[in-house]
Amino acid sequence: MTTKSPESAQKSSRSAEKKNRLDDLNILKVQFPEGSQDVLQELLVHQVELEMQNEELRLTQQELVAAKARYFDLYDLAPVGYLTLNKNGLIVEANLTAVAMFGVAQKILRQTVLSKFILAGDEDSYYRHRKQLYTTGEFQKWDMRFIRGDGSIFWAHLQCTVTDDGNMRVTFSDITDRKQAEEKLQALQDGLERLVRERTDELALLNVNLSSEVEERKQSEWRLLNEKDERLLAIQALREKEQMLISQNRQAAMGEMIGNIAHQWRQPLNALGLFIQRLGFFYDTPHFNKKFLDTFVDQSMETIQYMSKTINDFRDYFKPDKEKSDFHICAAVKNTLSLLDASFLNPEIRIVIVENDDPIVYGYQNEFAQVLLNILVNARDVIIEREISEALVTVTVWRDGEHAVVTVADNAGGIADDIIHKIFDPYFTTKGPQLGTGIGLFLSKSIVEKNMGGKLSVRNTDVGAEFRVEV
């Protein structure tokens, strides 16, 4: 079976229609005189031909409208921008996608040179590729940045050719998201490479130190195996050195304690001064009577007793423990915090104590207090250094099986991942040589783990650092 094309079908339809009209004319022909029948037939035939031509023109116009709609869909609504530039770089044609990308009216865009929208620094690339395009006639493509009408910047990938009439046809697409992703990826890659280099250097140094330590340990073991007396002396010297470090740490903290005493005494001294001034002011006045004098004595003695208690608290802290004893964890925590009350007032640092239990521990209470003091002072110093607003330190006490646990948590942002594993190392400090000795946390770990058979560790929370003392 043969299928006719749409054009053949239309021609057959028009021929059949013309034949039908002529047949109608032949019928009408007999109704007129013979002399006018030929003229009438010629006119009617001409009318039929004009009507057929009008129909063809109408169909042609419909096809043109359809073709224009297809052109609009394919060109103006294309997912990429199209530009046509003359030899001077002036934009003479631009589709709607290009208009949207540049953010200016189509009429204005068609009267502007493309270089006006190019970001400074990318112009050389544009002119270089344009010259190569006109010189070699080869297809050119590259990436560059443009400035929109509102001043924002976007990346575009350009593909350019030269038409037969010498114009430059430019196709471009927005690749800003891709470029930003590439920049982020490159930044991550650079950061990773930097971390790898730093870690490699650290590992190399650690390896050197480890090799040196291994060699020294081998020599020490050999000497200890062959010289029992020297080994005992070395152990004794090590213990003495540890006790000396503990003593040094206490002496280093003494300056801070003196400052705390000054803070603790400042207010009661002021109050005592006011009492004495009032005594002289009211002397020889009707108000100076036994009741006034008794009140003065009571208030003065109360203030002096408070100052005396402060001295006793600090004296007890510096008095070394000779023997282990039972002590309440919660009492040790509160006594330690009382030594720091004044230094936590400026700037104001809120202290919260959570007592889920009050376990009793057998050990050295003052050394345990020294551990808590070191941790609390470090938390205070970090909060002050980082200028934390609404600063908070939370001390939590509870029992975990047979062990008593105390955690000290702050909201100062935590410890950097690259140093958190070093903070218990001897002489490691982030405060600088003038502000820190680097032995506080090292000695605290030694006190807890060696002297009290416990464990001291640290971790980062969502808001800061948390030290855990388990004894």
Q: How far is residue 347's CA from residue 468's CA, in Å, rounded to a whole number?
A: 25
Per-residue model confidence (pLDDT) at position 434: 47
The SS3 call for residue 380 is helix
> What integer pLDDT is reported at residue 397 of this predicted model?
94
Phi, psi of 346 (to 5 degrees): -135, 100
Strand 140-147 to 153-162 pairing:
antiparallel
pLDDT at 413: 92
Specify the pLDDT at position 82: 92
Which residue type does 109 have?
L
Q: Give the bridge partners for 5, in sequence order.
A: none
pLDDT score, position 74? 58
Residue with tokens 């006719």: 4
Q: Is the peptide bond before 347 cis (omega within 30 degrees of 0)?
A: yes
Closest Cα partner for 430 from 416, 413, 447? Answer: 416
Tokens 């250097």 identify what position?
A: 201
Beta bridge partners of 93: 84
What average pLDDT values come out for the chain (471 residues) when binned by 10 residues? 56 61 56 62 74 73 60 70 92 91 91 93 92 90 94 94 91 91 91 89 86 84 73 68 60 56 62 73 78 78 68 55 79 82 76 91 84 88 89 93 92 91 79 57 84 90 94 89
Give which of 443, 265, 396 is closest to 343, Cα–Cα. Answer: 265
Query: What's the Cα-to-Cα distance from 71 to each of 66, 75, 78, 271, 340, rounded to whole Å?
Result: 9, 6, 10, 93, 82
Contacts of 97-106 spanning 24+ positions with Cβ under 8 A: 98/172, 101/146, 101/148, 101/154, 101/156, 101/172, 101/174, 102/146, 102/148, 102/149, 103/148, 103/149, 103/150, 103/152, 104/148, 104/149
- Give one DSSP letter per residue of 191-231, joined into a string: HHHHHHHHHHHHHHHHHHHHHHHHHHHHHHHHHHHH-HHHH
At 86, list the tokens.
Answer: 């003359």
Per-residue pLDDT at 315: 57
C-alpha dihedral sign at 203, 205, 208, 212: negative
Strand order in the sheet with 350-355: 350-355, 392-400, 403-410, 465-470, 455-460
CATH class of 230-470: alpha beta
The domain defined by 81-174 folds into Beta-Lactamase (3.30.450)
pLDDT on residue 261: 60
Residue 67, token pair as written in the block? 């073709």
